[in-house]
Structure 1
Amino acid sequence: MTDERIVLVVDDEPSHRMMVRAVLEDDGWTVLEAGSGERALSMLAEEAESDTYPSVALVDMKMPGMDGMQLLKELQVRRPIMPVVLLTAFGSVGSAVDAMKKGAFDYLTKPADNDELIAVISKAFEYHKLLNENIRLKLEVSGEADFIGASPGIERVRDLIGQAGPSEATVLVLGPSGTGKELVAEGLHRASNRADRPLIKVNCAALPDDLLESELFGYEKGAFTGAVKDKPGRFQLADGGTLFLDEIGEIPGALQAKLLRALQEKTIEPLGSVSPVQVDTRIIAATNRNLKKEVDAGRFREDLYYRLAVLEIRIPPLCERKEDLPLLVSFLLRRLGNKNNKIIRTVTPAFLDALSDYDWPGNVRELENVLERALILSRSDALGTDLLPSQITGAREAEIHMDISPSMTPTPPAPANLEEAEKQAIIQALEENGNHRERTAEALGISRRTLQYKLKKYGLTRR
C-alpha cells in the first residue's frame, strides 16, 4: 500500500543503482530500479495494478532520453503526492535548487553520503505519509460517497483515488455496471484542488448523438432551428472544476474527434460559433467496455483512448470481493432504513449465506435493490431468506441439495449479528492459523492492515 517503505530509484548507471539499493535495503527499504525515465513511467503504470507501489522516487538529473527534470514534470502529473528526490553532480547544484522551486522535494549530490541518503529518503517518506493521510481524511468527510469494504481490491481503489485525485491528469475508470464508477469520480474530485468548483456529470449513453454534442459544447443563438438563445455546454459549466463523462465508449466517431481536440487544446467550439472558447476543465471518464478492444475494432479512436487513459482505475465486481458483503449489507440497510422510515437490526445467518452464494451480475446496485425489496416486505426487524427473490434463494437451495449428505453433521448456527459473525470468523481463522497474522489475513482474503484494524475493533489484539 502507499504507506509501505518502497523507493523507486531511477538512474542510468547500474553500479550507482546497486550501491543505493544496498544502502537502503540494509535500512529496511524495498527498492525498485529503473534505468531510464521512460522505464520508470512504465513501471509505475504496472505497479498501479498491484498492492505495492513506491512512496518516494530518487531520480538522477542527467540521463539519456528523458532526463530528471522531464521525469519530475511527468511524475507531478501522474503521482503528485509522491516526493521526488533528485541526484545531481556537485557542479550542477544550481539546477537542482531550481528543480526544487519547480516541485522537487530535495536533492543529493553524487555519490551520496549513506547517512544523508537514508535521512533524506526517510524525511520524504514521512512527508508522503502526511499528505496521504490528509487526503484520506478529506475523502472521509463525505463518508456516504466513499467505498464501503475492506477487501484488497477496494483498498487499492481508495489508494489510487488518493494518488490520482490531486493531479490534473485525465482518469479512466473501468468496471462493470453497478460497481460505483460515479463514486470514484466523486472521490477524485473531492481529493483534487478543484473540490470547491463544480463536478458536472454527463451520461453519454443516455443522450442521442446530436443532442450529446450540444450538451457537451453548447450552442449560440441561431445555430439551429429552436436555438433562440445562447446555451453554455457542460465543458463551460465545469470550467475550473471536473467533467465526468460516464459511458464514454458510447460516443460516436465524429464527436470523438471534437472531444480529442478539447482535451489537447483546452478549447471548445460551441455549435454556431466561429471562434474557440478557452476552458479549464479536468476530465474523468468511465466505461464498462474494453476500450482497447474497441480501438482494435476501429470503433474508438486510439489517440483519444491514450489521452483519456493517463491513469486507469479498475473497480472489482462484487463477485470478486464477497468478503465485503457484511459491511455493505450493514451500511446499505442503515441508509435504506432511513430512506423508508424502517429499522432493520439484523439479518439471519441463512440470509447472509444466500447473498454470499450469489454471483451478483448487477453488482452493488443489484444488492441495494434486493435489500430495499426485503426491507419493504419485512414484518420484523430481522431479514430472512423468505424475503429474497428466487434467483438468489434458488442458487442457495441447489447448492445445499448438491453438497449435503445424510452422513454430514450440521454445523451450529452462526451469530445473527453481522459484526459478531465477522468477529467469530476472525477468531476461527486465527485459531486455525496458530495466531499467525499474515496467514490469517491471507486465509480471510484481506490485507494484513485490514486484519490489524479488525483485531483492534473487536478487542482481539492480545491474541
Structure 2
Amino acid sequence: MSKPGVKVLLVDDDEALRNAVTQGLALRGFDVAAFDNAPAALKALTRDFEGVVVSDVRMPGMDGLALFQRVQTIDPDIPVLLITGHGDVAMAVAALQDGVYDFVSKPFPMERLSVALSRALEKRALVLDNRRLEAAAQTTGGSLLLGDTPVIRRLRATIAQLADAEVDVLIQGETGVGKNLVAQSLHRGGTRRARPMITVNCAALPETVFETELFGAVAAAGGVRPQIGRIERADRGVLFLDEIEGLSPTMQAKLLRVVEEREIWPVGAAEPRHLDLRIIAASKVDLAEAVRDGGFRADLYYRLNVVTLVVPPLRERREDAPLLFGAFLADAAARLRRPAPRLTATVRSHLLGHDWPGNVRELAHYAERVALGLASPPHAEDGAAPDGGESLTERVGRYEATVIRETLAACGGDARKVMAALQTPRKTFYDKLRRHGIHIASYRPPKHSSQT
C-alpha cells in the first residue's frame, strides 16, 4: 500500500491498458497519475517526487527507455518500472543493469505489479528519509524542535511569538519531550538573550539548602558562608524553574514572593533585593490538576500561568521521528568519530512503529546505539513482532489514533467539533483519547491568563 500523497506516474499510450492499470492500482490503494506520453509525465517530475514511474517500453516519440534516461537526469534515485512485451524481455534485463528498478511482462497479474510497486515505494521512502537525515545533520542546535507535523509547527510559531514578550511562561509535557529546549528557544529568541538563563532543578533541590541556594546569604548570617543565590544570578536574564512540581509546600510559599514581587531576601540580609527577571517554569504534570488535588499552591500556579505551552509527546508526532533521529545520529556519530550509518528499512520501521514512551530522550539514546552498531531489530519488549508483524487490532488502533490526531489538528483542539466530525459520542471520544495517550491540550492555541 502506498502512503497518502505518494503518486505512481503511469505512462502508456494504450488507453485501454492505461485505464485498466490505473483502476487496478487505485483499488489497491495507490494514488495514480496517468499520462499517454512521456513528455507530459516528465513535466510532473521533480527531485522531491515521492513515488515511482511506471512506463510501457514501446511508445511513439519518446519510448520507455528514453524516458528512463530523462528521469535519471532529474533524480537517479527515482525508481522506474518498465512494462514490456514478450519480445522485449532481453532488452529489459539489460536495462536492469543500467539502473531500471524492475520490469513486468505483458500480460501480467495486477498483484505482480502491486508487489513491485510496494517495494519500489519503500526504497524511494528510504532514499528521501536519508536525504532528510543528511540535511538534519547540517542543522546546529534546536534539534528537538525539528519536525513538520502540525503540532510541532504550531509550537515553533508560538515560541517565536512569545520570545520577545516580557511574560512568564509555563511549559508542560511528559518526561523527555524537550521542555528545557523550549525554554532555551524562548531565551535565545528574546530580548534577554545576551544575559544568562539560570536553571534550577526544583525536584533535585534539598529543602535544607533551598534558601541559601536560591536566595543567597550575606556575611552577617551566622555560620553561613556568604554567597550569591541562583535567582540573583538571573538578574536581567531568565530564571528557568524546571520540574517545579517537585517543590514542597514550604518551598512553594517562599518562591511565591519571588514570582509576585520580583524580589529576594538573602539569608541574613536586612532588606530585600529587587530583581529584573523573566520566569519560565516547566512541569511534567498538569499543574491545574495538582492544584485541584491539593499538591500545588493555587496562587503560585496562577502567577506562573500567564501563558502555557504544551509540548507534545513523540507518539503524537511520530512522523517527525526519522528527522529527529537523523539529527541525533549525526551528533552521536560526530562525537564518536565514526561515519553515520544509513537508515535501513528495519530502523525506519522501528522509528515509525514504536510508541517512544521515553519520548525524544529515548529516541536520542536509540540513535546513539545505532551509531555504535549496537541496535538490533525491535525486541520483544517493544510490543510488536519483528519486521512489522502487528496484529489486526494493533493496526486498526494505530489508524484510529492517526485519524483522531489529524482531526484534532484540523479543528484546533475543539473537542465538540472533533466529536461532530467523527460522529463519536462524548464518552467514547474521551475513552479513545485515554487509550491512545492523546493530550487534547497540545492541539489548542496557547491560553493567555488574565491573572495579575
Q: TM-score, normalised by structure 1?
A: 0.53
Partner of 1:327: 323
Determine if contact 2:218/2:267 at 8 Å carries over to the other structure: yes
State the one-letter code of the partner of 2:386.
E
Q: How many Å apart are 1:317 and its aligned residue?
A: 0.1
Equivalent in 298, 305, 312 of residue 294 of structure 2: 298
Determine if contact 1:374/1:388 at 8 Å carries over to the other structure: no
Equivalent in 139, 148, 153 of residue 151 of structure 2: 153
Partner of 1:241: 237
Q: How many Å apart are 1:164 and its aligned residue?
A: 1.1
Equivalent in 389, 402, 424 of residue 400 of structure 1: 389
Q: Are 2:166 and 1:177 equivalent residues in the alignment?
A: no
| C-alpha distance in structure 1 between counterparts of 2:379 and 2:227, whole Å | 46
Determine if contact 1:370/1:389 at 8 Å carries over to the other structure: no
Determine if contact 1:145/1:187 at 8 Å carries over to the other structure: no
| C-alpha distance in structure 1 between counterparts of 2:210 and 2:201, whole Å | 9
Deviates more, 1:270-279 or 1:317-326: 270-279
Q: Are 2:141 and 1:143 equivalent residues in the alignment?
A: yes
State the one-letter code of the partner of 1:245.
L
Partner of 2:15: none
Determine if contact 2:322/2:351 at 8 Å carries over to the other structure: no
Q: TM-score, normalised by structure 2?
A: 0.54
| C-alpha distance in structure 1 between counterparts of 2:274 and 2:169, whole Å | 21
| C-alpha distance in structure 2 between counterparts of 1:305 and 1:255, whole Å | 13
Gaps of 5+ in 1: 1-139, 379-384, 405-441, 448-463
Sort the Cα spacing of 1:355 and 1:203 in 2 relative to 1 into closer, same or farther, 3 A.
Answer: same
Equivalent in 381, 404, 424 of residue 391 of structure 1: 381
| C-alpha distance in structure 2 between counterparts of 1:144 and 1:339, whole Å | 17
Partner deviation per Cα, 1:92-125 (whole Å, 9 max, x = no partner):
xxxxxxxxxxxxxxxxxxxxxxxxxxxxxxxxxx
Partner of 1:205: 203
Q: Are 2:353 and 1:357 equivalent residues in the alignment?
A: yes
Count of equivalent residues: 263
| C-alpha distance in structure 1 between counterparts of 2:244 and 2:205, whole Å | 12
SS at match of 1:244: strand
| C-alpha distance in structure 2 between counterparts of 1:142 and 1:326, whole Å | 17
Sort the Cα spacing of 1:351 and 1:147 in 2 relative to 1 into closer, same or farther, 3 A.
Answer: same
Sort the Cα spacing of 1:399 and 1:377 in 2 relative to 1 into closer, same or farther, 3 A.
Answer: closer
Partner deviation per Cα, 1:341-398 (whole Å, 9 max, x = no partner):
11124121122112222111100001111121222135xxxxxx62655533x52439
| C-alpha distance in structure 1 between counterparts of 2:148 and 2:222, whole Å | 52
Partner of 1:427: none
Partner of 1:195: 193
Determine if contact 2:384/2:390 at 8 Å carries over to the other structure: no
State the one-letter code of the partner of 1:198.
P
Gaps of 5+ in 2: 1-137, 394-405, 412-452
State the one-letter code of the partner of 2:381.
Q
Partner of 2:332: 336
Equivalent in 223, 237, 255 of residue 259 of structure 1: 255
SS at match of 1:245: strand
Determine if contact 2:177/2:311 at 8 Å carries over to the other structure: yes
Identity of aligned residues (%): 40
SS at match of 1:312: strand
Sort the Cα spacing of 1:240 and 1:145 in 2 relative to 1 into closer, same or farther, 3 A.
Answer: farther
Determine if contact 1:374/1:387 at 8 Å carries over to the other structure: no
Q: What CA RMSD, in Å, does the superposition of the two structures yield over aligned residues?
A: 2.8
| C-alpha distance in structure 2 between counterparts of 1:184 and 1:161, whole Å | 8
Larger radius of gyration: 2
State the one-letter code of the partner of 2:183.
A
State the one-letter code of the partner of 1:269.
W
Sort the Cα spacing of 1:263 and 1:142 in 2 relative to 1 into closer, same or farther, 3 A.
Answer: farther
| C-alpha distance in structure 2 between counterparts of 1:376 and 1:350, whole Å | 16
State the one-letter code of the partner of 1:162.
A
| C-alpha distance in structure 2 between counterparts of 1:318 and 1:302, whole Å | 30
State the one-letter code of the partner of 2:315.
C
Sort the Cα spacing of 1:398 and 1:295 in 2 relative to 1 into closer, same or farther, 3 A.
Answer: farther
Determine if contact 1:194/1:240 at 8 Å carries over to the other structure: yes
Q: How many Å apart are 1:403 and its aligned residue?
A: 4.7
Sort the Cα spacing of 1:142 and 1:263 in 2 relative to 1 into closer, same or farther, 3 A.
Answer: farther
Partner deviation per Cα, 1:66-108 (whole Å, 9 max, x = no partner):
xxxxxxxxxxxxxxxxxxxxxxxxxxxxxxxxxxxxxxxxxxx
| C-alpha distance in structure 1 between counterparts of 2:344 and 2:140, whole Å | 30
| C-alpha distance in structure 1 between counterparts of 2:234 and 2:144, whole Å | 22
Sort the Cα spacing of 1:203 and 1:145 in 2 relative to 1 into closer, same or farther, 3 A.
Answer: farther
SS at match of 1:231: coil
Sort the Cα spacing of 1:336 and 1:398 in 2 relative to 1 into closer, same or farther, 3 A.
Answer: closer
